[in-house]
Amino acid sequence: MWASGRKKSFNATATDRSNHEGLKGWLNPARYGWERVAYWLQRLTGLFLLIYFIGHIYETSSLTGGESAWNAMLQFTETLWGHLFLVLVIGTSTYHSINGIRLIFAETGTGLGRPGRPDYPYDALSLNYKQKSGIWVALILAAVAMVYGGNVLFGGG
Amino acid sequence: MLQERQIMRIHYITGLAALFVVAVHILMRLIVPYHTSLQFSNVIANYHNFSYAVLLESILVLLAIHGFNGLRVILLELRQKSSWENGVTIFTIVAMIAIIAFGTRTIIVANGLGVG
């Protein structure tokens, strides 16, 4: 009786990709709250820092070419745009580090609170004041580090 | 092969360890005026210090592992297919080895052992 009421049998091999956003979905931090924004920034800063790391390894390899090669590299990096880029590196590395520490604690369950039934308006129970504070601390310290770094780079320190 | 939870544990440990060694690396640029610290003679003097060379090598290894494993995680989040996962894993391991080799060469040559 129950089987005859079925109009359509489930096909385990059929794939519905209509909700697959791919890279566009990955790049969109909206819709899911502050934790998603923090996740998005963590990924973006990580990629940026990886690119910087590879460039820095290449940049420092000019040492092996002697003083003239090193000075030529410094001419390229010790410029206004080079310093602004470094200030960005300082900010992204600070955010990535502090948010990463928050994530390590979250992975162990520290600071997430007790699980509960999702009730309207369905706010994430894990996003409590500790997690929000952690995200804000990461952002604020990144800004402070950028100001300090800018002072060292542009202030002749 | 390593389990994913073991890989993530390595990811967290390398991240935390890199934080400390990179902090020392940055502080070395601040003990004298920043622009003076970048002069060739000062930089080479740092590399000739064996402890500092070991510190640089540790930064290289820790950040290569942490960075390329992070890239692997990002790429695996985007797509899940057996051939893609195997390709990403192989690519990130090869890239990790390549960057460590290239950076180690710089450290060895600058340290004055004269290889390469």
CATH for A60: 1.20.1300.10
Residue A25 located in a structural domain: no
Give the ipTM of the model, two decimals please. 0.90
**B31 close to A (CB below 8 A):** no
Torsion of CA A26, A28, A34, A39, to 10 degrees: 30
Contacts of B33 in chain A (CB under 8 A): 156-157
Residue A118: pLDDT band with limits 50, 70, 90: confident
Contacts of B60 in chain A (CB under 8 A): 57
- Domain span at residue A38 reads 32-112+122-154
Q: What is the spatial distance between Cα A100 and Cα A42, in angstroms, rounded to a whole number?
A: 8
**B74 close to A (CB below 8 A):** yes
Residue A48 located in a structural domain: yes
- Is A56's pLDDT higher than 80? yes
Q: State how many domains chain A has.
A: 1
Own/partner pairs, A20-29, CB within 8 angstroms, 24+ separation? A22/B78, A22/B79, A23/B78, A26/B77, A26/B78
Mean pLDDT, all residues of chain B = 90
- Please report the pLDDT score of residue A19 as a whole number: 61
Domains and their CATH numbers in chain B: 4-111 (1.20.1300)
Mean pLDDT, all residues of chain A = 84
**Reported pTM:** 0.85
**B102 close to A (CB below 8 A):** yes
Residue A84 located in a structural domain: yes
